[in-house]
Amino acid sequence: MRVVLVSGGVISGVGKGIIASSAGLLLKTLGLRVTAMKLDPYLNTDAGLLNPLEHGECFVLADGGETDLDLGNYERYLGIQLSNESNMTTGKIYKLVIEKERRGDYLGKTVQVVPHITDAMQAWIERVAKIPVDDSGEEPDVCIIELGGTVGDIESMPFIEALVQLRHRLGRENFFSISVSYVPIINGEEKTKPTQHAIKQMRSAGLIPDMIACRCERLLDDATIQKIARSCQVEYEQVVGVRDMETIYQVPLLLEQEGLLKILQKGLALDKEPLTPARVQKGQELWGLWKKTVIPEIHLPPVNIALVGKYVSLDDAYLSVRKSLEHSAMRCKRKLNLYSVDSEHLEHDMQQKDPTKYHNAWKAICEAQGIIVPGGFGSRGIEGMIETTKWARQRKVPFLGICLGMQVAVIEYARNILGYKEATSEEISAHAEHKVVIFMPEGSKEQMGGTMRLGTRTTHFKPGTEWSKLRAMYGGAEVVEERHRHRYEVNPQYIEELEAAGLNLTSLDSLGVRVESIELKDHPFFVGLQAHPEFTSKVLSPSPALLGFVAASSGCLDEMIEQARNKTEGGDGKTNDSLF
């Protein structure tokens, strides 16, 4: 078992997740199998109830786990499928240990942070690190572990102690520690003191850095790197500058140029890991495709997309949607111009409250080549989403509604086509006459955490939907699987009426009851999905639904449909997925 630990000092939010993902990708280019874990010091048992405006989005895994958004980075970069246990939180560990104590497993001993909590953490890591995460079904060679927060936080101390003990048990050649630190620039001068103090604190806790990744807005001066190396008792080669790049997908290229892969190979004694020629070749092909994708040879005009949501004040609240749009734009060889529009600013009363916000919001909608309405909860901003959906439908602007976005599209259609002016969702009004969106029968209104319809679910396209653009992007498949996270759904009682009025409900769940997708036939691209296709999008393998939307907005939908058809029929026998 080999471990690469990525921790941080000075401040949080400086890119530990991207550096961890990039390190994993570089190891995969050698032909190694890589898995990943995130250790979060907060007491929550999962990220399901965390406010997206404070913590960012809740990323949903295939098994229904509601986790930290960094697990999305790992899956997108590494092409792997993680489990709920890949995200360890303080809440999960304490719950596990307390349950064992209540069962009597500790035989009356006094249960303490050391050794009981720290032992449970180590056992968790060692168990999860061995779980296969790719199509090979084989145990991973290396586990990337990201420690959330910053070293020195009170809540991080048990994790650090556990990791120090794990390093001792695994041995020097099986544990590699990367410390990510921020180098601020004040009046043009690169300041190294924060990094020096962070590394000193890390060493005092028992973690010895094998590499220091210095985040900075610009290329660091050589003198700065030398000073950090001297002050932190590491070699010059062990200090790597990680400057801002044009896109985050170019960070692996930067780290490879800075020598990270060579440092990892030496630090983990990877030359002792025998690999078959086939695995080595696959790694080389992966690296070649990555470079070709993130640095396209062709630069076509940009595509303007408006993201209309209720959490747009924090980019991370819709992180997977944003990344999946980027993946799709790269595939279409377009630069993505993504405009975040607060749906509240599109509502009629905003015209009186703040005319400037109202004008700017609608200006962005009018200039957009495509409009996407992502998921969310609550009634705030719903009317603005409905107005936006109406605009896209009437003016033939490519539209994609995800989860709440699909429900909003159904409400808009019921109001303006069926004539039910008060049509709404039960989430907004429990006593409305026409609730075209209702609460799911097996959900819970009392217990919030983990009670939604979560994880990978099967979708069946209905007979006679061969015309569907969405289905075409899935290669014409009859059955597809996507991840879900919702508590409300389209009311089955309105299905026949909606379809008779021209809103095609193109796919249903495995029982043939729940609406999984809607589509307009006489529209360039008007699609709604109950699922969250953004959660399965990868850098080298964009989500079919998001790719279709961006392609329609870019004017190359027919080309993308043809590629999807060739992929399903075999094509050249190799797909981007297979290279992962």
pLDDT, tens only, 338-380: 999 999 999 999 999 999 999 999 999 999 999 999 999 989 9
Per-residue pLDDT tens for 162-206? 999 999 999 989 999 999 999 999 999 999 999 999 999 989 888
Is residue 336 within a helix (H) or strand (E), and if so which, with residue range? Answer: strand 336-342
Q: Identify the CA nearest to 48 among candidates 453, 373, 509.
A: 453
**Could you tell me where the beta strands, DSSP code E, fall in 236-335?**
239-243, 303-309
Which H, E and C letters describe 384-431, residue by residue? HHHHHHHHHHHCCCCEEEECHHHHHHHHHHHHHCCCCCCCEECCCCCC
Task: Determine the Cα–Cα distance for residues 253 and 243; give it in Å rounded to an integer.
Answer: 12
What 3-state class would DSSP assign to 212?
A: strand
- Over residues 106-118, the mean pLDDT reads 94
- Helix segments in 295-397, DSSP class H: 319-331, 350-353, 355-367, 382-394
Local confidence band at 515 (pLDDT 50, 70, 90 cut-offs): very high
pLDDT for res 574: 55
Burial grade of 493 (CB within 10 A; 0-12, 13-18, 19 or more): exposed
pLDDT of residue 126 exceeding 60: yes
Task: Determine the Cα–Cα distance for residues 28 and 570; give it in Å rounded to an integer.
Answer: 25
Which one is predicted more confidently, 450 or 457? 457
Q: Give bridge partners of residue 485 from the DSSP assignment.
A: 454
Which one is predicted more confidently, 131 or 570? 131
Burial grade of 219 (CB within 10 A; 0-12, 13-18, 19 or more): exposed
pLDDT for res 445: 67
Task: Determine the Cα–Cα distance for residues 551 and 559; give it in Å rounded to an integer.
Answer: 8
pLDDT for res 568: 72
- The residues, any chain, with a CB within 8 Å of residue 329's CB and separated by 6 or more, are 303, 335, 336, 550, 554
pLDDT of residue 415 exceeding 80: yes
Peptide bond into 441 cis (omega under 30): no
- Residue 260 to residues 30, 103, 196, 263, 530, Cα–Cα distance (Å): 13, 46, 21, 5, 41
**pTM assigned to the model:** 0.94
Catalytic status, residue 532: yes
Amino acid (1-letter code) at residue 428:
I
Among 75-79, 152-156, 347-351, 471-475, name the one with the lowest average pLDDT: 152-156
Task: Determine the Cα–Cα distance for residues 133 and 78; give it in Å rounded to an integer.
Answer: 10
Give the side-chain half-sphere CA count within 13 A for 517.
29
Per-residue pLDDT tens for 36-55? 999 999 999 999 888 898 88
pLDDT for res 298: 66
Which H, E and C letters describe 496-543, residue by residue? HHHHHCCCEEEEEECCCCCEEEEECCCCCCEEEECCCHHHHCCCCCCC
Residue whose tokens read 């489990």: 83
Per-residue pLDDT tens for 273-316? 788 999 999 999 999 999 999 987 666 889 999 999 999 999 99
Task: Determine the Cα–Cα distance for residues 357 and 402; give it in Å rounded to an integer.
Answer: 25
Task: Determine the Cα–Cα distance for residues 305 and 135; give it in Å rounded to an integer.
Answer: 34
- Over residues 223-244, the mean pLDDT reads 94
Where residue 170 falls (left for φ over 0; alpha for ψ -120 to 50; beta otherwise) is alpha
Residue whose tokens read 């697990």: 71
The full length of the chain comes to 580
Residue whose tokens read 């004008």: 359
**Could you tell me where the beta strands, DSSP code E, fall in 462-493?**
479-486, 488-490
Selected catalytic residue, list 347, 403, 434, 556:
403
Is residue 61 within a helix (H) or strand (E), and if so which, with residue range? Answer: none
pLDDT for res 572: 53
Lookup: tokens for 61: 């895994």
Q: Give bridge partners of residue 529 from the DSSP assignment.
A: 402, 517
Selected catalytic residue, list 75, 258, 326, 534:
534
Selected catalytic residue, list 116, 383, 532, 556:
532
pLDDT for res 151: 83
Amino acid (1-letter code) at residue 480:
V
pLDDT of residue 141 exceeding 50: yes
- Over residues 33-38, the mean pLDDT reads 97
Task: Determine the Cα–Cα distance for residues 520 and 468; give it in Å rounded to an integer.
Answer: 9
Residue whose tokens read 């890390």: 202
Catalytic status, residue 345: no
Is residue 440 within a helix (H) or strand (E), and if so which, with residue range? Answer: none
pLDDT of residue 149 exceeding 90: no
Pairing mode, strands 185-186 and 66-67: unpaired
Local confidence band at 570 (pLDDT 50, 70, 90 cut-offs): low
Catalytic status, residue 403: yes
Amino acid (1-letter code) at residue 464:
G
Local confidence band at 57 (pLDDT 50, 70, 90 cut-offs): very high
Burial grade of 284 (CB within 10 A; 0-12, 13-18, 19 or more): middle
Task: Determine the Cα–Cα distance for residues 336 and 305; give it in Å rounded to an integer.
Answer: 7
- The residues, any chain, with a CB within 8 Å of residue 158's CB and separated by 6 or more, are 90, 93, 113, 114, 117, 118, 121
Local confidence band at 573 (pLDDT 50, 70, 90 cut-offs): very low
Task: Determine the Cα–Cα distance for residues 407 and 390; give it in Å rounded to an integer.
Answer: 13
Local confidence band at 575 (pLDDT 50, 70, 90 cut-offs): low
Report the chain's mean pLDDT, rounded to a whole number. 93
